[in-house]
Chains A and B, each alone.
Chain A
Amino acid sequence: MEELFKQYQEDISPLLMEEIKSLIPPKTGKTKVKAILEQVKKEIALSSVDPGECVGMVSAESLGEPGTQMTLNTFHFAGVAEMNVTVGLPRIIEILDGRKTISTPTMEIYLKGAAAKGTGIKKIAARIKETRLVELIASIETNIAEGLIEIELNQETIKDMELTVPGIAKLMEKAVKGWTLKYDKNIFTLKAKAKEDTINALYKTKEKLKKLFISGVKGVTQVLPVKHGDEYVIVTFGSNLKDLLKLDFVDGQRSMTNDIHEIAAVFGIEAARQAIINEVFKVIENQGLNVDIRHIMLVSETMCISGMIKGITRYGVVNLKSSVLARASFETPLRHIINAAMIGEQDHLTSVVENVMINQPVPVGTGLPGLVTEVKMKKKD
């Protein structure tokens, strides 16, 4: 039996083979198994793309045409005015362009344990949201005469945030070196060690302190607990996977961000490839359109094939094209031609655009195969 499977390992992928093995009832006859494998092989052959099929063009058309029908640019979270997420065509453009900074980075955070059921969800959300010192300050004053900064913190907020005064003091000491810090309960006084400090420095330090990062996940400016089915999920505005995953109550296996570049940095290019597929498919599904996922997969793979995320732009994948004429016909023709001329580039006329330009059959479909009979050339003397 094992031999039989080995015979077909060239034609059937290992994953599929495992599935077949698990599905075949025990004590099935050898001839029957062979018939099954033969049929599977046939089905694979039938459903695979024909040689010379212009998959890229079909994908482009399949994604481009529904793009003309897309409407509605933003999705609003009910009740929270500032939480809009870019969807629709702008989002697709953003993903496929491979933008480094996206317009609305968000995360969807799944939780472990009791928190997922909703116990203490607000406190957890507050822990994820980034907190800066300003949010704790009740009053802040500068004493110019004595060169002092006096900060009064809001004790209740500190309590709510589960912070301690000494903890905050430590953070402050780290942030501003060269200043002596004294605190009494919730009142902090800072004094410069160096004497020649000016008013200007005093002001600068004050501003620096205001922005001091205290707790939470950096970059997450808003949090919103949402119920997904019978589970609580925290949706955030602002994304920082790396720091988020350090938190012990976060389910790192399911939490997600919509920032493709961040996924590539944290989980690697393969994860990013899948993320592009998921994000694009989500938008298309959202719009009630119907695009086969394999088209999106092709685009995503094209973007990630170099190991980095390259957008479908003249700086991205188009720049990877080997043909000068193909690059020139996309955007900024003169630049490409002059650069090519300077380094003496060659164009082997192997893809579609060039052959359209010189009026030769394009090497796809019927234009791909050469003549079956070889033409004998006269030898040149």
Chain B
Amino acid sequence: MTDIYLNGEYVGLVKDPKDYVHRVIQDRRKGKISQLLNIHYDEQGDRILIDLSKGRTRRPLIVVNEGRPLLTEKHLEQLKRNELSWSDLLSQGIIEDLDANEEESAYVAFTEADLTPEHTHLEISPLAMLGLSTSLVPYGNYNQSTRLNAGSKNQKQALGFYAANFAVRLDMDVNLLHTPQVPIVKTVMHDISDYQQHPAGQNMVVAIMSYGGYNMEDAIVINKSSLDRGLGRSSYYRPAVAEELRYSGGLIDEISIPDKDVKGYKSEHDYRLLTDDGIIFPEAKVAEGDVIIGKTSPPRFLSSMDEYNLASSTRRESSVSIKHGQKGIIDFVIISENEEGNKLVQVKIRDQRIPEIGDKFTSRHGQKGVIAMVVPQSDMPFSVNGIIPDIIFSPHGIPSRMTISHLIELIAGKTGALSSRFIDGTTFNGESEEDLRAELKEQGFRENGVETMYDGVTGKKLDAKIYIGNMYYLKLKHMVANKLHSRARGPIQLLTRQPTEGRAKEGGLRLGEMEKDTFVAHGASLLLKERFDSDKVVVPVCEKSGLMGYYDNYKKQFMSPIHGSDAEISLVEISYAFKLFLDELSSIGVYPKIKLTNKY
């Protein structure tokens, strides 16, 4: 007797488990019981597992009977004529969904040619083994799996056309490619996923060669004239929001141009773009520091004394302004109310991004690279037909990574562009390389995709024939404009008086422990000291008590924490972090005595 478990709960016993399972499956295929049911006989544990629970991952497979798939040509034709739907196939038991358990007892053929009488199921398409974005990689079956991973990861970061109503949306951190294109080399997944509706790249002419060493280490050289024509151009949108918050005591924020006597008033120049309602006007050009929404808040701590003062004089400035290192144009302004009935002002800022040195591009094969050089068209190499590449890609990226699909896409893209048709590059089922080569030859090109090219600078013929063709390139969201950062002086932290951290806070670049070691190893002792001078302070040290003293502004003299005005004070230069350390020692009950001697 074999136990039966339904959704993990024991429900009963059965005499002949194999026959039972067979009967249940047959009934499911006939539609007598739910299609959502999965059954599996676990021979080792001698138990039958029936599952109807939620959240199982199931995958569709074609049912095979005695080495023949139930899905026939007749069905396919009916499907084409729209006489049959997916759910019809399911209810007729031609296709069924298996879960992880039932999959264990299935013997699945990868292709129809592999079928033997023992097989129970047939894969609908070999592509089913890949996920959505991985199946967007053309000719993926020529690649190492790690490259497929990288390729599909890159696609998720590509700029494209994310939503048709982008013009009225207020999303955080959005990029939009100006002239997106559908790839010449497509896969089935491009059609299934309606890729035409949200393309995310452009077809570019790619030459695989080096260009004066400017494309070493995965970098790419890009054609300046192509950029001028709009290649890879995108917009970057970010919102700015201000709300009239209500505070206890009936006090409220006010969106308006702040009065000059407001606490924290910026300069008049900063408010110049605000209209009478205190909000910036659309299409205004803004740069770092400009106020977008003028706002004032009531004083933070309202004591009884303050009530006698004039309201405005104690109000705080709390405007929203453009942050450090950012610029743009105001796209539109929305004035509305939020759920609590507070006035809400939202502003969308737009910034055009023309590809520049440091922007990241990639093909669909995990061959990402950064622009290292923008070259005028006149200096780019050209072919006999006068074709000038948009991008020059380094050949050194190919051997170690073994991305054969990258090379095949190039030749497929070239063929597709010349015969003005789309090429099917679906993984496992793509158009064959030989066919593409033959077609390329028919078009009057070398069948291996190389062309004689001439140096744009000297006009001399290049010794080597250059592999050139069309490829679908993606602009990735990592752009230097969002990352470039430097600092000579700027904000410091309150506690340690050391520079703040991070680009957003205009922070310093840390000279860390290991970097310090290199200075020491070089014996550059004084340079090291200078590097660490960012938090230096001069503290008065009382030599009597060995503690740090302070300056008394009333008595106009230095004081010792123990001996008061009767102190022997010496001024010592140390780092503020060390002063803090000594204070912390005092707080744990350790008396750090400083003994001063002259160093020289």
Residues of A in contact with B (beta carbons under 8 Å apart) = 52-54, 57-58, 60-61, 334, 337-338, 341, 346, 352, 356-368, 370-371, 374-375, 377
Contacts and interface: CB of A to CB of B under 8 A. Distances in A.
Given A361-B528, A365-B523, 4 more contacts: A57-B520, A357-B578, A364-B520, A367-B523
Contacts of B527: 366
A355 to B, nearest CB: 8
B581 A357 contact: yes
B488 interface: no
A310 B105 CA distance: 62
B483 interface: no
Nearest to A62: B521
Nearest to A50: B523
Contacts of B535: 359
B591 A60 contact: no
A337 B590 contact: yes
B600 A61 contact: no
A364 B525 contact: yes
A337 B585 contact: yes
B523 A52 contact: yes
B198 interface: no
B533 interface: yes
Contacts of B591: 341
Contacts of A375: 598, 600
B525 A361 contact: yes
Contact of B521 (A61, A361, A371): A61
Contact of B525 (A58, A337, A363, A377): A363
B518 interface: yes
B251 interface: no
B575 A357 contact: yes
Contacts of B532: 356, 359
Contacts of B518: 61
B517 A370 contact: no
A60 B525 CA distance: 18
Interface in B548-594: 573-575, 577-578, 581, 585, 588-591
B525 A338 contact: no
Nearest to A342: B590
16 contacts: A54-B520, A54-B523, A60-B517, A61-B518, A337-B585, A357-B577, A358-B578, A359-B532, A359-B574, A362-B520, A365-B522, A366-B523, A367-B526, A367-B528, A370-B599, A371-B600
A202 B525 CA distance: 74
Nearest to A371: B600
A61 B517 contact: yes
A61 B521 CA distance: 8
B516 interface: yes
Contacts of A57: 517, 520-521
A53 B588 CA distance: 38
Contacts of A367: 523, 525-526, 528-529
A307 to B, nearest CB: 29
B585 to A, nearest CB: 7
A365 B594 CA distance: 26
A298 to B, nearest CB: 13
A358 B574 contact: yes
A68 to B, nearest CB: 11
A359 B590 contact: no
A362 B574 contact: no
B52 interface: no
A346 B516 CA distance: 25
| Contact size range, B | 20 to 34
Contact of A356 (B528, B573, B588): B528
A357 B516 CA distance: 12
Contacts of B585: 337, 341
Given A57-B520, A352-B520, A359 B525 contact: no
A365 B600 contact: no
Nearest to B523: A365
A295 to B, nearest CB: 12
Contacts of B590: 337-338, 341
A370 B525 CA distance: 13
Residue in B528, B590, B591 whose Cβ sees the most chain A Cβ within 10 Å: B528
B524 interface: yes
Contacts of B573: 359
Contacts of A338: 588, 590
Contacts of A371: 600
B406 to A, nearest CB: 29
Nearest to B581: A357
A356 B536 CA distance: 12
Residue in A54, A61, A370, A375 whose Cβ sees the most chain B Cβ within 10 Å: A54
A53 B600 contact: no
A53 B516 contact: no
B529 A360 contact: yes
Residue in B516, B520, B529, B595 whose Cβ sees the most chain A Cβ within 10 Å: B520
Nearest to A373: B600
Contacts of B526: 361, 366-367
Chain A to chain B: the 3 pairs with minimum beta-carbon distance, closest first:
A365-B523, A367-B525, A359-B575
Contacts of A53: 523
Contacts of B517: 57, 60-61
Given A367-B525, A367-B526, A359 B520 contact: no
Contacts of B525: 361-368
A253 B599 CA distance: 54
A375 B600 CA distance: 7
Given A57-B521, A352-B520, A370-B599, A362 B528 contact: yes
Contacts of A366: 523-527
Given A359-B532, A374-B600, A58 B578 contact: no
Residue in A346, A357, A370 whose Cβ sees the most chain B Cβ within 10 Å: A357
A367 B526 CA distance: 6
Residue in A58, A359, A360, A371 whose Cβ sees the most chain B Cβ within 10 Å: A359
Contacts of A352: 520
Contacts of A363: 525
